[in-house]
Chains A and B, each alone.
Chain A
Amino acid sequence: MERVQGGVASPTPYGTPPESGVPYGPGRRPSRHAASAFGRRAALSTPAFGWTLLFFLIPLAILVVYSFGQVNYDTLAVHWGWNLQNYSQIGQSLYRDAIFRSVRLSVLATLACLAVGYPVAYWISRQPAKRQRLFLLLLIIPFWSSFLVRTYAIANLLADGGPLATLVRSLGLGRLNIQYSSLAVGIGIVYSYLPLMVLPLYVALERLDPVVAESAHDLGARPWRVFWRVTLPLSAPGIVAGCILVGIPATGEYVIPTILGGGKTLMYGNLVATQFQEAGDIPLGSALAAALTAAITIVALFGRRAARSAEDIT
């Protein structure tokens, strides 16, 4: 088909393969995308779409179908049906409170991440180019080392009798008891996701023309005012992107609360996993997973629009 298109302008018969060795006569332009002929074959996309369809989209669809089913608690067999019982169960206090706690924790952790990440991103963006690269690299290296080990590292740090507890005691601040608490889970989230917050913030701040802030300063604005009225609003797209990049995975987190929360502080991811691993209520677990997916899609789309409109304003 492509070849026909390419041959339209040429006097040679349609469909002459460009690689057929036909000498280029006057006016005969080789197919414009001759080289890409290889890349044009639809078959090339088959592995990617096939794998995605079979092992990602179909499983998600099955998950949604299951979420409307019911489980028989004696036989653990799943009965099909189209009822909303699982979803209304999510609204009951047991799950609603757990979801609320988990979302609140991930929001707080995301804000803490922003509070730590913003100064870091700001500072890096104000360094000479070479040093910027160095510190970005230093930021990414831990992110690339094992996620699991990083979480375990925080467990080392926060353990009863661990280094932090010893430090606090030797400073005479009393006994530190945060092992297996939601605070520990929050610290773990901030620690693990900090680079995901800093990078989009850095991208937004680095793009800022320093002249804008300088002129605000020259017009008499005090440094804090320059920051609040100029730098911060202009970096809004980075803030939105960073919060989404951290907030979404934090909400669905499973590893961090399991290791640092000691099974007491549950995030949404644990709530879903428990239905599969212990409760055996796969339809309810599916409903929880489907609800999470829907919420994330909405947040991601909304966030993209927010980031875009923030960009339009600036």
Chain B
Amino acid sequence: MTRPSGRQLGGTVLTVFVMSAFVGLYAPLVLVVINAFNKNVLLTSWAGFTWKWVKQAIDNGRVRQDFLNSAEVAIVSSVLALAIAVPAGLWARTASRRGRQILDATTYMRIVLPEIVAALGLLILFSRLHVALGIDTVIIGHVVFNSAYAIVIVQARLATMTTVLEDVAADLGARPWRVFRRVTFPFLLPALVVAWLLAFAFSFDDVITSTFLAGSGTETLPMLIFGLARFRVDPEVNAIGAGLMVITLACLGFTLLVAHGRVTGGLILGGRARRET
């Protein structure tokens, strides 16, 4: 296709702009990792490679405790999210139109509404009921948004499945539970893995809900980073942050493996976008 040279020039400018946008997207993340190994405490320039900050972070008892707290919250809340999302997704397939609308509306509300509003509402509820804040209340708060993402993903997967196979299985005499175990569940499995990993990653990374619902005695890893990062840039924070990034990125890597290279992000972001368009 031949095009006027003005267009070609425009095309080059556009490509350069887009490439620099992508560099700009990754440069700060690379910087975090580099500064986790930077000898210069002030991080103003590169002063040589060191493991010091990483060691310091690993040896820090507070970091280790917070890591365990985060892991507990993320594991429990993501499992609960699935336990809520799978039945809801199955129910929605045959539910009435009104029922589905209510499910969709409450799901997207939980995704779109700023997290801080939901967290503060829960905070008031717990203090009214004299529930002691701690790891349990954090888990409850995380499930509120986690399960919404899980429902979006499970529903997206179920939407691509007709009920023919299940009908056939039932016609051949399989009881409902057996139909689910042998037909529906295997089909859903990739979506379940994706939903679980996403819920885990979102929970592991969460700051806002944790900050308001943890009380004074409990701390998660993101809360620790958040508390330190608001005052200064510090190489040990970089080391912890790089670790947090590795964990969330590992979840993404697994997700992509499961999804076979399909752009799964489209699923979740598509879920966010779907409400609006």
Interface positions of A (Cβ within 8 A of B): 18-19, 21, 24, 30, 32-49, 51-52, 55-60, 62-63, 66, 116, 119-120, 122-124, 133, 135-157, 159, 161-163, 166, 191, 194-196, 199-200, 203, 223, 237, 240-241, 244-245, 248-249, 251-255, 258-259, 262-263, 269, 272-273, 276, 282, 285-286, 289, 292-293, 296, 300, 303-304, 307-308
Contacts and interface: CB of A to CB of B under 8 A. Distances in A.
Interface string B87-98: 110111111000
Interface of B: 4, 6-7, 10, 14-15, 17-18, 21-22, 24-29, 31-32, 35, 42-45, 83-85, 87-88, 90-95, 99, 102-103, 106, 109-110, 112-118, 120-125, 128, 140-141, 143-144, 147, 151, 163, 165-171, 173-177, 179-180, 183-184, 201, 205, 207-208, 212, 222, 225-226, 229-230, 233, 237-238, 241-242, 244-245, 247-249, 251-252, 256, 261, 263, 265-266, 269-270, 272-273, 275-277
A125 B242 CA distance: 32
A219 B110 CA distance: 48
B49 to A, nearest CB: 17
Given A59-B121, A156-B32, A51 B265 contact: no
A55 B117 contact: no
21 contacts: A19-B173, A24-B171, A33-B163, A34-B167, A35-B179, A52-B110, A57-B106, A137-B256, A141-B252, A142-B25, A144-B251, A149-B32, A152-B233, A155-B233, A156-B238, A157-B28, A159-B233, A195-B269, A199-B273, A273-B116, A282-B124
Given A120-B18, A241-B277, A273-B116, A161 B44 contact: yes
B222 A154 contact: no
Contact of A144 (B15, B26, B125, B249): B249
A304 B277 contact: yes
Nearest to B249: A145
A35 B170 contact: yes
Given A30-B170, A39-B91, A255-B208, A144 B237 contact: no
B144 to A, nearest CB: 5
B226 A255 contact: yes
Contacts of B205: 146-148
Contact of B94 (A33, A119, A145): A33
Closest 5 CB pairs of A and B: A252-B114, A59-B121, A35-B166, A38-B176, A140-B265
B91 A42 contact: yes
Contacts of A245: 272-273, 276
Contact of B21 (A33, A52, A116, A136): A116
Contact of B225 (A33, A149, A163): A149
Contacts of B21: 116, 119-120, 194
B50 to A, nearest CB: 17
Nearest to B106: A52
Given A35-B167, A52-B110, 18 more contacts: A35-B169, A36-B167, A39-B90, A45-B95, A51-B147, A56-B109, A63-B120, A140-B269, A144-B265, A149-B242, A152-B32, A153-B28, A191-B25, A251-B114, A255-B208, A259-B230, A262-B230, A296-B113
Contacts of B256: 137
Nearest to B143: A51
B30 to A, nearest CB: 9
Contacts of A33: 94, 163, 167
A49 B148 CA distance: 11
A62 B117 contact: no
Contacts of B276: 200, 240-241, 244-245, 300, 303-304, 307
A194 B269 CA distance: 12
Nearest to A57: B106
A52 B145 CA distance: 10
Contact of A39 (B14, B93, B106): B93
A203 B113 CA distance: 23
A195 B270 CA distance: 11
A117 B129 CA distance: 46
Given A145-B248, A148-B225, A255-B207, A38 B180 contact: yes
Contacts of A148: 205, 207, 222, 225-226, 229, 241, 244
B269 A142 contact: no
A38 to B, nearest CB: 3
A254 B95 CA distance: 37
A40 B28 contact: no
Contact of A41 (B29, B91, B207): B91
Contact of A166 (B44, B88, B230): B44
Given A39-B91, A48-B88, A307 B277 contact: yes
Contacts of B225: 148-149, 152
B7 to A, nearest CB: 5
A124 B166 CA distance: 40
A172 to B, nearest CB: 18
Contacts of B244: 146, 148-149
